[in-house]
Amino acid sequence: DGGITQSPKYLFRKEGQNVTLSCEQNLNHDAMYWYRQDPGQGLRLIYYSQIVNDFQKGDIAEGYSVSREKKESFPLTVTSAQKNPTAFYLCASSPRDLPPNNEQFFGPGTRLTVL
Amino acid sequence: GESVGLHLPTLSVQEGDNSIINCAYSNSASDYFIWYKQESGKGPQFIIDIRSNMDKRQGQRVTVLLNKTVKHLSLQIAATQPGDSAVYFCAEQSGSYIPTFGRGTSLIVHP
């Protein structure tokens, strides 16, 4: 089945530790995205990548880092510099058809809790 | 003091009623709009989309209406079922691949 997966589903981190959230897709999509969702809030864009080996900061990139070495994978590292990392993290992908009118396909999310 | 944004707008309906969820968008240049459904603890799922050259689009039990004059989008769900209970987000795009998401509306369907 084609889809987008995230792991782990739940993640606990001690203060001062870096953690990496996994995101993999087999939809052959060029573009991938990371969002953060806090209770009662919409989705805020952390980073996005429209092609392999290239990525751009979103609205709230501080304290996060990403890589895009493979088309299928877009891991997100939450660094110790992120002051309030407890949140629900969502990864998404989309094709880059023209015109750019395509919905995003979301993974199931990772809930990160800082202890 | 109370934190802003912890409580989503909520719509409560009885099973079998029609539901209307509204969304005001901000960018008059937006040309593509999407509705997503997010169940608790899961990622959002695509429901229906509409391009700016249309006013209305229908799917199975859902209809999206677009009013560009007042920058308003609505999602109508016919014969609402308990399985429709979720948070519904609208998203707008303006010629890029990056959508802007609304805050969401929580739909509660009572049996």
pLDDT digits (tens, 9 = 90+) for B80-97: 999 999 999 999 998 777
Spacing of C-alpha A44 from chain mean position: 11
Q: Does A106 touch chain B (CB under 8 A)?
A: yes
* B97 against A73, higher pLDDT: A73
Q: Which residues from A are below 8 Å from B101, CB to CB?
A: 42-43
- Cβ atoms within 10 A of the Cβ of A79, count? 15
Structure token pair of residue A115: 């202890």
Is A65 or B98 the better-scoring residue by pLDDT?
A65
Structure confidence at residue A103 (pLDDT)? 86
Q: What is the pLDDT of residue B1?
A: 36
B39 vs B106: CA distance, rounded Å: 10
Q: What is the pLDDT of residue A94?
A: 92
Mean pLDDT across A38-67: 94
Confidence of residue A99 (pLDDT cuts 50, 70, 90): low
**Cβ separation of B43 and A106 shorter than 8 Å?**
yes
- C-beta separation of B79 from B61 below 8 A: yes
Cβ neighbours of B9 (radius 10 Å): 14
Cis peptide before B99 (omega within 30 of 0): no
Rounded average pLDDT over B40-67: 95
